[in-house]
Amino acid sequence: MTMSDTDPQESVFERLDTLGAEETARLSPAAAFSRDGRRRAVEERIGYRQQFALDADRILHSRAYTRYIDKTQVFCLIDNDHITHRVLHVQLVSRIARTIGRFLRLNEDLIEAISLGHDIGHPPFGHAGEHFLAKLCQRHGLQPFQHNIQSVRALDRLERKGRGWNLTLQTLDGILCHDGETHTYRLSPEPLTDFAELDRKIRAKAADPKHELRPMTLEACVVRLADTIAYIGRDIEDAIVLGLIRRDDVPSRCRERLGATNGSIVYNLVTDLITHSRVAAPGTERPSGSYYIGFSEPVAEALDELKRFNYRCIYLTPETQKHMPLIESCYQSLFAFYLKHLENGRAAELDVDLMGDLEESYTSRQPAAARVRDFIAGMTDDYFLTQARSIGCPIPQRQ
């Protein structure tokens, strides 16, 4: 029988089975296998991509991913094309996390999907914008805004006019659990069986932003620690370019243990993480509850000190924060403006749709404040400022 005589769909199935068998042989028994990817809705279409590879592609093709291009990482409104934006950050996380995953024999497709989607829910102007939006949500009867929850919400409920992308449980859980500013140097997964449990995790985190989440997979543990590896040295490089700090300002213990350049910091952190993580080797019996991703204690201590240095000398400095009073005022004015038009039934008068193009199941069930939250959270920095200017808000100027 020639290739033309075979059913193309059967051929794809056979190749997918082969890829699945290769995963079983190649990956750690503690890894997440593509065959175990679970979606909210069963899909009948036969494809040639494994489950987590399909997730990564769907995230890349999402409209929210496109808007990464103009979202603040740390520094905003600066005319310097070499300063990191959110789109570069997620790509750096993906590359670093995949390198770690390759050495530990984990599923790189799942790592990539979580990495690319983990910051989708960030509103304009980074963590400061998240703080401003959280306060506005609480003021209007909503739970505090959290970008990791919004990332899941955007991909699962808002994209594709409200249909979402039907991503796997493993990818959505990893995106939800990527966030953890408490200094955790070792992470082990916590089993999760279905979407009902995921929804309970989301509700618990929404009700208490300090609630600590643990991912369901080792791959998500890798991404969570790679997130820090990706930004910690890169932010130092950006701050040096902008004249906020000098390289010699980096604490001496951090320089000795990790280095003083982004390249050396990333290399030393990744090397230590690969060396000190415990993951079952391919072909061995999976250990029960004894696998984890983590740093050695000396490196973890140096990383913690470096984080505190970055907060003190970069993130919270007057120079970095100087635009934030005006930006917060814009947040307040835009939220009030959109909310007023929705509550008065005058949304049609606006040049924006305020999420009105979503399915009726969304527009009929969401309070007006939630629709405003979702709309503002999806904005790029530039679009946010354009809309603020259009309603008469003073806006900060680029430098």
Residue listed under structure tokens 């009726």: 360
| Largest distance between two CA atoms of the chain | 73
How far apart CA 125 and CA 388 sit, in angstroms, is 14
Tell me how far CA of residue 216 lies from CA of 30, 199, 227, 282, 354, in angstroms. 11, 13, 17, 20, 34
Dihedral of CA 122/127/128/134: which sign? positive
- Report the pLDDT value the prediction gives residue 179, as an integer from 0 to 100: 81
- Report the pLDDT value the prediction gives residue 232, as an integer from 0 to 100: 97
- Report the pLDDT value the prediction gives residue 19, as an integer from 0 to 100: 87
In the chain the domains, ranked by start, together with CATH numbers, are: 10-321 (1.10.3210.10), 324-390 (no CATH)
**Residue 194 burial by Cβ neighbours in a 10 Å radius (0-12, 13-18, 19+):** exposed
Residue type, 43: E
Pair 147, 119: CB distance under 8 Å: yes
- Report the pLDDT value the prediction gives residue 246, as an integer from 0 to 100: 98
- Report the pLDDT value the prediction gives residue 363, as an integer from 0 to 100: 81
How far apart CA 367 and CA 365 sit, in angstroms, is 7
Pair 148, 175: CB distance under 8 Å: yes
- Report the pLDDT value the prediction gives residue 287, as an integer from 0 to 100: 61
Segments of the chain scoring below 50 in pLDDT = 1, 3
What does 43-104 look like in DSSP terms, one character per residue? Answer: -----SS-HHHHHHHHHHTSHHHHGGGG-BSS--S---TTS-BHHHHHHHHHHHHHHHHHHH
Which pTM does this prediction carry? 0.94
- Report the pLDDT value the prediction gives residue 1, as an integer from 0 to 100: 41
What torsion do the CA atoms of 357, 361, 364, 365 make, to the nearest 10 degrees?
A: -120
Tell me how far CA of residue 239 lies from CA of 192, 253, 323, in angstroms. 40, 20, 16
244-264 per-position pLDDT tens digit: 999 999 999 999 999 999 999
244 φ/ψ angles, rounded to the nearest 5 degrees = -80, -35
The three-class DSSP label of residue 187 is strand
How far apart CA 333 and CA 393 sit, in angstroms, is 7
Cβ neighbour number for residue 167 with a 10 Å cutoff:
29
